[in-house]
Amino acid sequence: QLQLQESGSGLVKPSQTLSLTCAVSGGSISSGGYSWSWIRQPPGKGLEWIGYIYHSGSTYYNPSLKSRVTISVDRSKNQFSLKLSSVTAADTAVYYCARVSSVFNEVNWFDPWGQGTLVTVSS
């Protein structure tokens, strides 16, 4: 059974870079033609898609975050990562990683999801 687990700093100072990693277990990150995504949820609010990395290595980002986001894959460690630069308090959220199924690069569904990790932006 595929499982995803987020890890990284839970507290980031304003203007710094948020860095998170998602470890994939129970399957290879390189198999099945799946893509890998980050989604966040501010406290008490809804879900916001951040971006995903296609199995080919191409990346696709939310236009509202594109200038600050980088998603990468480390196939040797079976994990993928998120970097979000120049953070502000508005970036405080629970960050989830998820596997993506897509059809001809059109996103279909997200499953499974990691348990999520809270990142707080504060000085």
Partner 1 sequence: QSALTQPASVSGSPGQSITISCTGTSSDVGSYNLVSWYQQHPGKAPKLMIYEVSKRPSGVSNRFSGSKSGNTASLTISGLQAEDEADYYCCSYAGSSTYVVFGGGTKLTVL
Residue whose CB is less far from partner 1, 17 or 62: 62
**Exposure letters 1-37 (e unless 16+ CB within 10 A, then b):** eeebebebeeebeeeeebbbbbbbeeeebeeeebbbb
Bond from prior residue into 43 cis (ω within 30 degrees of 0): no
Q: Is 48 in the site for partner 1 (CB under 8 A)?
A: yes
Candidate list 43, 46, 57, 90; residue touching partner 1; CB under 8 A: 46
Q: Is residue 74 within the footprint of partner 1 (CB under 8 A)?
A: no
Distance CA 74, CA 2 (A): 17
108 binds partner 1 (CB under 8 A): yes
Count interface residues toward partner 1 (CB under 8 A). 22
Q: Does 60 bind partner 1 (CB under 8 A)?
A: yes
Find the farthest-apart pair of alpha carbons in the chain and give their distance in angstroms, rounded.
Answer: 43
Residues that bind partner 1 (CB under 8 A): 46-49, 52, 60, 62-63, 96, 101, 103, 106-116
